[in-house]
């Protein structure tokens, strides 16, 4: 008598709805609501870059591997990941959609930051990727060995297919630093010259012959120049150690004006240095900053310097720990501006939070934007410090 019921049950089983199909969900309804505000998630932001073609296109790197891009002037951000922290960004001066980003290798986006492709080393030469630790520091292996890190990049101002890069240096498998050139948009690279003094910035003289460009390479603490096919190593500033930061631009008469911040050394303070002849001679410009703070205060920590590629008479320096005011007992931080290559400076200072917890206040009661000009932007990558400055176009 039971057998007919069993047979009927087995025949009807495929047509019976599953319990999970008739119930909406096993999970309770969510009561929270989240909205993306922008960059975050830990770590600090470094190397901000604004497109010379569109001031609303902004990129910034994070030391937690990711990088961020905004196309509306910072109102919203999108994160992208190139496998390891970005060390610098560069824009093609001829094509507004082309952006470069250097990690341990060099990447390029041809669609305004939407997608990225490998430029150096060429993709065909890559044999494997080694992850030696958990600190987002991969090593890219090629047939010739580990790819050296990309230190600096410049795009020819008249031909986007011509690229110059400083590659190598103090890194695993990096070897000595050298200048490499590509005439086919990074498809092939040719070692052009050794850079004994290193390479942290490359500048191409737009007035030089296109077939034989004059190049300036800012190194560890000097400038190397290639002119008429010959290289010349400029002198290091007297008494200065390694450059902490450097920035340069071409004046109206074609000279490269270089600003450099010399790092502190045992027994000496940091310095603001200026060269008005492409690194052939140097002068100090920190006296003007000290005078603006009262003259008797020691020079503060100097974090970053930035100038315009086409208006280098104007430059900005961020500082920390300026002993300004009566008795110079309380440190200040802020940004100094010069409009005459460092002869005179204007200082905007803000008091740091004191031991008793008083709120910071601006000394002259004007914001940095009003004080320094709204056409320029600045940013601090750490609390109470301006580690990197954005330069005007």
The domains of the chain are located at 38-234, 240-393
Residue whose C-alpha is closest to residue 302's, from 263, 349, 341: 263
Beta bridge partners of 60: 68
Predicted model pTM: 0.79
pLDDT of amino acid 172: 45
Beta-carbon contacts of residue 167 (< 8 Å; ≥ 6 apart) = 120, 148, 149, 150, 151, 177, 178, 179, 180
Taking a C-beta distance cutoff of 8 angstroms, is the pair 151, 169 a contact? Answer: yes
How confident is residue 70, by pLDDT bands cut at 50, 70 and 90? very high
With a cut of 60, say whether residue 40 has pLDDT above it.
no
Helices (H), 159-294: 286-292
How confident is residue 77, by pLDDT bands cut at 50, 70 and 90? confident
pLDDT of amino acid 230: 96
Lowest pLDDT segment from 77-81, 200-204, 252-256? 77-81
Task: Determine which helix (DSSP H) or strand (DSSP E) holds 315, and give its type and residue range.
Answer: strand 315-322
Beta-carbon contacts of residue 96 (< 8 Å; ≥ 6 apart) = 51, 53, 54, 112
C-alpha distances in angstroms, 271 versus 189, 259, 319? 37, 10, 11
Assign 3-state DSSP to the chain and report helix, strand, coil percentages, each to 5: 10, 35, 55
pLDDT of amino acid 385: 40
pLDDT of amino acid 98: 98
How confident is residue 41, by pLDDT bands cut at 50, 70 and 90? low
pLDDT of amino acid 363: 39
How confident is residue 391, by pLDDT bands cut at 50, 70 and 90? low
Taking a C-beta distance cutoff of 8 angstroms, is the pair 171, 145 a contact? Answer: no
- CA angle 177-43-107, nearest 5°? 40
Give the rounded percent of residues in the chain with a pLDDT score beyond 90.
49
pLDDT of amino acid 356: 43
CA–CA distance, 160 with 216 (Å, rounded to integer)? 18
Structure tokens at 12: 């009807």
With a cut of 90, say whether residue 33 has pLDDT above it.
no
Average pLDDT, the chain: 80
pLDDT of amino acid 353: 44
With a cut of 50, say whether residue 373 has pLDDT above it.
no
With a cut of 50, say whether residue 300 has pLDDT above it.
yes
Taking a C-beta distance cutoff of 8 angstroms, is the pair 189, 120 a contact? Answer: yes
Q: What is the pLDDT of residues 355-369, one digit of tens each?
A: 444 433 333 334 444
Q: Which position has the higher pLDDT, 85 or 134?
A: 85
What are phi and psi for residue 12, nearest 5 degrees? -85, -10
Which residue is associated with the tokens 């720990």?
321
Q: What is the pLDDT of residues 130-156, one digit of tens each?
A: 888 776 678 899 888 888 899 999 999
Mean pLDDT of 196-222: 96
CA–CA distance, 287 with 301 (Å, rounded to integer)? 14
Beta bridge partners of 66: 81
pLDDT of amino acid 65: 77
- Is the bond preceding residue 121 a cis peptide, omega within 30 degrees? yes
With a cut of 50, say whether residue 88 has pLDDT above it.
yes
Other Cβ atoms less than 10 A from the Cβ of 166: the count is: 26
In eight-state DSSP terms, residue 327 is G
Q: Which residues of 232-252 are buried (b: 16+ CB within 10 A; e: fewer)?
A: eebebbeebbbbbbbbbbbee
C-alpha distances in angstroms, 178 versus 87, 102, 217, 220, 255? 18, 16, 11, 13, 24
Q: What is the pLDDT of residues 310-358, one digit of tens each?
A: 999 999 998 887 765 555 556 677 888 899 998 887 776 554 444 444 4
pLDDT of amino acid 377: 33
Q: Which position has the higher pLDDT, 96 or 287?
A: 96
Lowest pLDDT segment from 32-36, 212-216, 223-227, 237-241? 32-36
Q: Which position has the higher pLDDT, 46 or 215?
A: 215
Structure tokens at 195: 């850079």
With a cut of 90, say whether residue 72 has pLDDT above it.
yes
Sheet order of strands, 145-146 included:
126-130, 139-142, 145-146
pLDDT of amino acid 374: 39
Lowest pLDDT segment from 58-62, 260-264, 303-307, 324-328? 324-328
Taking a C-beta distance cutoff of 8 angstroms, is the pair 200, 221 a contact? Answer: no
**Where does residue 47 rank: exposed (0-12), middle (13-18), buried (19+ CB within 10 A)?**
buried
- CA angle 142-62-35, nearest 5°? 125
Structure tokens at 241: 């150690």
Structure tokens at 22: 């008739």
pLDDT of amino acid 4: 54
CA–CA distance, 280 with 248 (Å, rounded to integer)? 14
Q: What is the pLDDT of residues 238-290, one digit of tens each?
A: 888 899 999 999 999 999 999 999 977 765 567 899 999 999 999 988 776 76
User: Could you tell me which CATH number the domain at 38-234 has?
Assistant: 2.130.10.10
Q: Is 46 helix (H, G, I), strand (E, B) or coil?
A: strand
Q: Which position has the higher pLDDT, 299 or 196?
A: 196
Taking a C-beta distance cutoff of 8 angstroms, is the pair 342, 282 a contact? Answer: no
């Amino acid at each position: 008598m039971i057998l007919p019921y069993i047979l009927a049950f087995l025949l009807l089983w495929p047509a019976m709805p599953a319990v999970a199909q008739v119930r909406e969900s096993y999970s309770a309804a969510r009561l929270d609501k989240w909205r993306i505000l922008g960059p975050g998630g830990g770590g600090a932001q470094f190397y901000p870059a604004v497109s010379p073609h569109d001031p609303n296109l902004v990129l910034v790197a994070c030391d937690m591997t990711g990088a961020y891009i905004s196309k509306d002037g910072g109102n919203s951000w999108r994160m992208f990941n190139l496998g390891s922290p970005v060390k610098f960004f560069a824009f093609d001066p001829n094509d507004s959609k082309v952006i470069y980003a250097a990690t341990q290798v060099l990447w390029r986006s041809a669609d305004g930051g939407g997608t990225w492709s490998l430029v150096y080393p060429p993709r065909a030469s890559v044999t494997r990727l080694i992850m030696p630790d958990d600190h987002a520091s991969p090593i890219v292996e090629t047939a010739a060995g580990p790819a050296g890190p990309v230190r600096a990049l410049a795009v020819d101002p008249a031909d986007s297919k011509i690229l110059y890069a400083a590659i190598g240096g103090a890194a695993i498998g990096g070897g000595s630093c050298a200048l490499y050139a590509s005439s086919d948009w990074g498809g092939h690279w040719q070692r052009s010259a050794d850079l004994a003094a290193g390479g942290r910035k490359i500048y191409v003289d737009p007035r030089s012959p296109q077939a034989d460009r004059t190049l300036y390479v800012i190194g560890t603490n000097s400038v190397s120049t290639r002119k008429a096919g010959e290289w010349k190593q400029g002198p290091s500033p007297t008494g200065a150690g390694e450059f902490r930061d450097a920035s340069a631009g071409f004046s109206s008469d074609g000279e490269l004006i270089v600003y450099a911040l010399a790092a502190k050394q045992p027994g000496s303070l940091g310095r603001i240095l200026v060269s008005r002849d492409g690194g052939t001679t140097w002068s100090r410009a920190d006296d003007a900053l000290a005078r603006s703070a009262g003259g008797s205060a020691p020079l503060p920590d100097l974090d970053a310097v930035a100038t315009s590629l086409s208006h280098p008479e104007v430059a900005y320096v961020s500082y920390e720990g300026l002993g300004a005011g009566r008795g110079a007992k309380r440190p200040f931080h802020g940004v100094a501006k010069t409009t005459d290559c460092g002869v005179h400076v204007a200082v905007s200072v803000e008091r740091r939070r004191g031991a008793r917890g008083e709120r910071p206040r601006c000394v002259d009661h004007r914001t940095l934007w009003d004080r320094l000009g709204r056409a320029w932007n600045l940013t601090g990558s750490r609390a109470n410090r301006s580690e990197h400055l954005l330069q005007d176009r």
